[in-house]
């Protein structure tokens, strides 16, 4: 049984094409999950709408608690990290992380950055190896195959790698760096563009995006099954 962790980071609560001012990134992520469940209804989906319910921003107390070894933590430190622990537990349990996110001002929404800050945790998702000062960070989520699906909606065009605006896209590169740091390196990306342009350009981008989502679902389900068979008993 595969476990999917589905995050939506858009500030828009509705779905494009169904709700006024609906979210295109939510449309992509919900298409992915619904197609997955249609093919594999036995799989488990954990859903977090971080766009509507943002994680807490890390604070001085969070930093002090996180960098204190667990046996030495006081009660208030454990309370401070309770939210982070829940988010980390969900991520560790996931086989496929699905992130639906818009590109806001050339980067990720604040809610998604807050989630990243909550799950990049010393001792939970990354370790320090003092014996290797040149590269001391050991990603803990590289212990088994996990996949990341980044489904993005952009107002402009040309933000893909090689595009005219690619140098201004700090969303996917930032996510890939942060998630790779903790061991999530099997990344798949689909984006739609042209929301601010509209018309046929946007409509065609949406059609292509949804088609790519359907193809990716089939591809990943085959990959996850093959990886599961290959793992030692």
Q: The CATH number of the domain where 41 resides is what?
A: 3.40.50.360
Q: What average pLDDT does range 95-121 have in this prediction? A: 98
**What is the domain range of residue 179?**
3-230
Q: Which residues are annotated as a binding site for FMN?
A: 10, 23-25
In percent, the amount of the chain with pLDDT more than 90 equals 87
| Residue ranges at the known binding site | 10, 23-25
pLDDT score, position 87? 98
Phi, psi of 124 (to 5 degrees): -105, -50
What's residue 130's pLDDT?
83
Output the average pLDDT for the chain. Answer: 95
Question: What is the enclosing helix (H) or strand (E) of 37?
Answer: helix 24-39
pLDDT class for 20, splitting at 50, 70, 90? confident
Question: Domain total for the chain?
Answer: 1
φ, ψ dihedrals at 120, nearest 5°: -85, 95
Each residue of 70-104: b (16+ CB within 10 Å) or e?
eeebeeebeebbeebeebbebbbebbbbbbbbbbb
Q: How confident is the model at residue 42 (pLDDT cuts 50, 70, 90)?
A: very high
């Amino acid at each position: 049984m595969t476990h999917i962790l589905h995050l939506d980071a858009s500030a828009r609560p509705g779905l494009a094409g169904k709700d006024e001012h609906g979210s295109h990134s939510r449309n992509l992520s919900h298409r992915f999950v619904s197609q997955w469940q249609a093919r594999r209804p036995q799989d488990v989906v954990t859903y977090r709408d971080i766009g509507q319910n943002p994680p807490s921003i890390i604070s001085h107390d969070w930093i002090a608690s996180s960098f204190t070894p667990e046996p030495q933590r006081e009660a208030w430190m454990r309370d401070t990290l309770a939210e982070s622990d829940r988010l980390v537990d969900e991520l560790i349990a996931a086989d496929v992380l699905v992130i639906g996110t818009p590109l806001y001002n050339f980067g990720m929404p604040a809610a998604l950055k807050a989630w990243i800050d909550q799950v990049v945790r010393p001792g939970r998702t990354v370790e320090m190896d003092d014996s290797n000062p040149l590269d001391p960070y050991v990603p803990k989520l590289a212990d088994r195959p996990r996949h990341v699906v980044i489904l993005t909606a952009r107002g402009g065009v040309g933000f893909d790698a090689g595009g005219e605006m690619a140098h201004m896209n700090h969303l996917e590169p930032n996510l890939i760096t942060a998630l790779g740091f903790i061991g999530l390196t099997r990344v798949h990306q689909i984006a739609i563009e042209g929301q601010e342009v509209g018309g046929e350009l946007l409509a065609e981008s949406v059609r292509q995006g949804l088609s790519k989502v359907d193809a990716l679902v089939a591809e990943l389900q085959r990959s996850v099954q093959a990886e599961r068979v290959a793992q030692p008993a």
